[in-house]
């Protein structure tokens, strides 16, 4: 129970079992938590980064080195840990890649801020310095950036390879093929808006996964893969040059919404009723046949009798298709989604070179492929087991984000920690010009940025201090700004020559998100938790609770 003394009188503020942390204690705890979260994902950075195995309460196993996935699966409890998880989620949603980098950067910024607070510098001074540093870093990023377009496939392939570098998804040849598939997919679905700006909607690049085979069996489909089966065994299993109708109509007798009663008093009436019902369903099937459709996909159900008439007409039908899949089919086949059979005509139909039901790993799936200029495509991911196929899917999603970011923004920078060294050098020069106590915060921001090349070298088993010294020395010489950590040769190398490129948007988003998260956390000087101990899970003063206890450093 938290209490205050007022004129000798005891004032009760909080309920029994509540906890409160004030001033530096609150700041120290928050910084320790953030550093622990960063420490949990630090070893996953780079092509030689390690994986984490996450086991849930139910025994589900996830093996990954994707920063956002690790933090989500960890089920952290401390509010500051949740802020760190949220910045990884934001990075994932906005640019699709760089989730580990943003968490490491935020952790290092807070670690540096902790040193400054210990020296008696006020948090608002540190925050002001960090804001200035983030703004300057964004400007410098633009200066160092180079242009790239969708037609520059060699550069985009290198960006894709770097994004996939840390993922355990097959050999270099397989990764190269996956990168090419993603570039092809992005190229296919990208559009220009009214102002001429490039737009890529990730939702129209469907990533469908199925355990079985090998990662190298992953395929690009010029159309949509629907995880359903054909409704009737008498229907054709394959249809070349298919004319496709997309329906939001139930091909069955609708139940009335108001209470209705039908009285049947003789077998003849029953027979007439059933005949009438059959006639209505036959009429529905006839309308579809007359439109010229050879394949139908509907969001709703198809009655057994209607299935029979469609099968007799040689029409392939699929029912209860997800709305999102219907929209993708519409973009891929150019078919219009029809909500009334009376309106269905030949001009509403879409086209696909082939619609076929195939058995994949014991389950039926429908391939709608060979579409002409589809604006929705599918990457069908395969893998030896569930863990492999899940990681391959995460990897492809990251690459889609990286390639999209590069194409939409049209700029990239060199990777391998080279751009971070450039930014750090520029910020140190900038700090000298700024003066005042803020310059100390700007210098700490520069130190935090160097955590990226430092972590990359540690992952490769190199000496981190020697590597940083070499990089700083190289970057001072003319033309040395492209030197970074060469993971595979365990040395400092030319990232331009090695083709280690990263999208500008990924770097900028990481810097903005990490600095904003650090600023939010540094502003907190009082933690009041009114969750009673008896209810379980009260926030411990020095730890995070949940699954993070073992990661405190």
What pLDDT is stored for residue 353 in this prediction? 95
DSSP 249: S
Q: Is 51 noted as a catalytic residue in this protein? A: no
Burial class (CB in 10 A: 0-12, 13-18, 19+), 236: middle
267 and 302 assigned to the same domain? yes
164 and 276, same domain (yes or no)? no
Residue owning tokens 């391998």 = 416
Tokens representing residue 296 in the block: 């139908």
Question: What are the DSSP calls for 518-547, one per residue?
Answer: HHHHHT--EEEE---GGGS-PPPTT---GG
Query: Which CATH number fits the domain that encloses residue 181?
Result: 3.30.260.10
Task: Specify the pLDDT at position 255.
Answer: 62
Give the integer Cα–Cα distance in Å for 110 and 113: 5
345 lies in the same domain as 458? no
510 by Cβ neighbours in 10 Å (0-12 / 13-18 / 19+) ranks as buried
410 vs 162: CA distance, rounded Å: 17
| Same domain assignment for residues 89 and 172 | no
Residue 240 φ then ψ, to 5°: -85, 150
Is there a single domain that holds both residue 327 and residue 337?
yes
Residue-level pLDDT at 538: 44
Q: What is the pLDDT of residue 546?
A: 42
Task: Looking at the structure, tell me whether residues 474 and 487 fall in a common domain.
Answer: yes
Q: Quick check: helix, strand or coil at residue 63?
A: strand
- Candidate list 29, 64, 100, 397, residue with the active-site label: 100
Q: Are residues 432 and 517 in the same domain?
A: yes
Tell me which residues of the chain have a pLDDT lower than 50.
1-2, 533-553
Task: Identify the residue whose tokens are 């600095």.
Answer: 515
Q: Which residues contact 83 (CB under 8 A, 6 or more apart)?
A: 34, 517, 520, 521
Shared domain for 319 and 405, answered yes or no, is no
Which residues constitute the domain of residue 235? 224-373
Give yes or no: 339 in active site: no
Query: What are φ and ψ of residue 197, in 5° steps?
Result: -80, 140
29 and 21 Cβ atoms separated by less than 8 Å = yes
> Is residue 170 classed as helix, strand or coil in its secondary structure?
coil
Please name the residue that has the structure tokens 């037609």. Answer: 151
Q: Can you give the pLDDT at residue 541?
A: 46
Number of domains forming the structure of the chain: 3
Whether residue 255 sits in one domain with residue 366 = yes
- The answer to whether residue 398 is catalytic is yes
Q: Same structural domain for residues 324 and 445?
A: no
From 64, 99, 231, 378, active-site residue: 99
- Whether 66 is catalytic is yes
Clarify whether residues 54 and 71 are in a common domain: yes
From 398, 422, 486, 494, the catalytic residue: 398
- In this structure, the answer to whether residues 11 and 138 fall within a common structural domain is yes
- Residue 474 sits in a domain whose CATH number is 1.10.560.10
Active-site choice (29, 51, 64, 66): 66
**Surface-to-core class of residue 307, CB atoms within 10 Å of its CB (0-12 exposed, 13-18 middle, 19+ buried):** buried
Please give the pLDDT value at position 257: 57
């Amino acid at each position: 129970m938290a209490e205050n003394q007022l004129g000798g009188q005891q004032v009760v503020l909080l309920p029994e079992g509540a906890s409160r942390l004030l001033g530096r204690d609150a700041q120290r705890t928050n910084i320790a938590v953030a550093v622990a979260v960063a420490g949990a994902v630090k070893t996953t950075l780079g092509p030689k980064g390690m994986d984490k195995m996450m086991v849930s309460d139910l025994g589900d196993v996830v093996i990954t080195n994707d920063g956002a996935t690790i933090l989500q699966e960890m089920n952290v409890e401390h509010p500051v840990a949740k802020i760190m998880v949220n910045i990884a989620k934001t990075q994932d949603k906005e640019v699709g890649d760089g989730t580990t980098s943003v968490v490491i950067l935020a952790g290092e910024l807070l670690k540096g801020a902790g040193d400054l607070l210990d020296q008696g510098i006020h948090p608002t001074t540190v925050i002001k310095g960090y804001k200035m540093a983030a703004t300057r870093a964004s400007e410098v990023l633009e200066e160092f950036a180079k242009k790239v377009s969708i037609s520059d496939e060699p550069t985009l392939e290198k960006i894709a390879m770097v994004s996939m570098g840390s993922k355990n998804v097959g050999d270099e040849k397989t990764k190269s093929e996956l990168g090419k598939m993603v570039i092809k997919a992005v190229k296919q679905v990208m559009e220009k808006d009214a102002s001429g700006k490039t737009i890529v909607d990730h939702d129209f690049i469907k990533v469908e996964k199925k355990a079985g085979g090998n990662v190298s069996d992953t395929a690009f489909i010029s159309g949509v893969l629907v995880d359903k089966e054909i409704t009737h065994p008498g229907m054709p299993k394959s249809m070349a040059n298919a004319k496709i109708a997309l329906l939001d109509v139930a091909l069955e007798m609708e139940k009335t919404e108001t209470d209705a009663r039908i009285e049947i008093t003789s077998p003849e009436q029953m027979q007439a009723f059933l005949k009438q019902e059959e006639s209505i369903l036959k009429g529905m099937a006839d309308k579809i046949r007359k439109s010229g459709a050879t394949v139908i996909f509907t969001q709703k159900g198809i009655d057994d009798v209607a299935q029979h008439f469609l099968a007799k007409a040689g029409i392939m039908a699929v029912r209860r298709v997800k709305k999102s899949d219907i929209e993708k089919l519409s973009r891929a086949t150019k078919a219009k989604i029809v909500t009334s059979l009376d309106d269905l005509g030949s001009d509403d139909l879409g086209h696909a070179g082939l619609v076929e039901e195939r058995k994949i790993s014991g389950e039926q799936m429908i391939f709608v492929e060979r579409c002409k200029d589809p604006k929705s495509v599918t990457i069908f991911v395969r893998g030896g087991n569930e863990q492999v196929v899940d990681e391959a899917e995460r990897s492809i999603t990251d690459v889609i984000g990286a390639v999209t970011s590069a194409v939409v923004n049209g700029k990239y920078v060199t990777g391998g920690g080279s751009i971070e060294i450039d930014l750090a050098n520029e910020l140190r020069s900038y700090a000298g010009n700024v003066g005042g106590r803020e310059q100390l915060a700007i210098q700490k921001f520069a130190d935090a940025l160097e955590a990226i090349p430092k972590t990359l070298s540690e992952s490769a088993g190199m000496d981190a201090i020697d590597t940083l010294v070499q990089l700083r020395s190289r970057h001072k010489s003319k033309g040395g700004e492209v030197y970074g950590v060469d993971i595979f040769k365990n040395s400092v190398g030319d990232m331009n020559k090695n083709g280690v490129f990263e999208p500008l948007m990924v770097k900028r988003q990481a810097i903005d998100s990490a600095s904003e998260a650090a600023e939010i956390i540094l502003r907190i000087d009082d933690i009041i938790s009114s969750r009673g101990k008896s209810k379980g899970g009260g926030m411990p003063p020095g730890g995070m609770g949940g699954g993070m206890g073992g990661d405190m450093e």
